Amino acid sequence: MPRVLIVGDERKGRVREVLGAVVDVLQRRGVEHEVELDREAPLAGREADLVVVLGGDGSILAAARRMGPDQRPTLGINIGRLGFLTAFGDDRAAEGVEMALDGKLVEEPRLMLTCVVERSNGGSDDSVLFLNDVVLSAKPGAGIVRLIAARVDRELGAYSGDGLIVSTPVGSTAYSLAAGGPILSPRLEAVVLTPLAPHSISVRPLVLPVGDGFELRVEDAGNCDKCSLMIDGQVAKDVSPEDVVRIETTETRFRQLTHGPANFFAVLREKFGWSDEPRRRH
């Protein structure tokens, strides 16, 4: 008999309402379940065969990070705005859970990476697992900053401007897209480096295989002594010119439940109106 872990943020509206619909399904089917509404509580090691996340894309990102290397098949129920990573809207929560329990959804692995900051004093911060992106950017009022992206002993590029986004394929439809980056198929093992307001018109987004990872350095923090590092839009750090930001590969994959590979493009059209032109009615 499967065990289900339901994850949500009790501070968000309608979570308890949708939670009730999900619990009703599980109770009717005699499925053992647990509810976790503290968005900071760790999820690694929790006994579950299925994780149901009630919320938007941010809730999905947080759940993926909190599961750590112990990823479980995850179903997203959208209670947010865009909900690009979720499979069902809140009005279809019960249906979504039923389909997941009946094996009617497709589990698709999504690339995850880790980010660690090596400090100038020889120490390093805790490694952070992420699903979406890492953004190294200027602090407010800092003006133009200069960042270096490198792989092993090879420099990839120098970026003068507001900063740089390193995005996974999942994150390519988020901040990177808004900054002019390309959309990557979520099935790719690649990243995109997207500059933020580059000072040169010749600087463009760059798609690269994951390889052995990357490192970012602050060469000039502008009018401040540090730059800002944001991981998945939720974990914030300061980075000085003497520090090194390492983005490393991991075998961990987010186990997203979807309607199937073709659904990615259907969601693009639905959420973004992608590759669709006005059509005349005959």
Q: Is the dihedral of CA 160, 161, 164, 169 positive or negative?
A: negative
CA angle 229, 234, 235 (to 5 degrees): 50
Query: CA 218, CA 240: separation in Å to the nearest integer?
Result: 7
Residue 66's region, left for phi above 0, alpha for psi from -120 to 50, else beta, is: alpha
Residue in 162, 133, 132, 134 with CA at minimum distance from that of residue 147: 162
Find residue 83's DSSP bridge partners.
Answer: none
Q: Is 57 an annotated catalytic residue?
A: yes
DSSP string of 90-131, one letter each residue:
GGGHHHHHHHHHTT-SEEEEEEEEEEEEEPTTS-BPPPEEES
For 201, residues 6+ apart whose C-beta sits below 8 A from its C-beta are none
260 and 106 Cβ atoms separated by less than 8 Å? yes
Q: Which residues partner with 236 through β-bridges?
A: 230
Q: Which of 57, 133, 162, 232 is catalytic?
A: 57
Instruction: List active site positions.
Output: 57
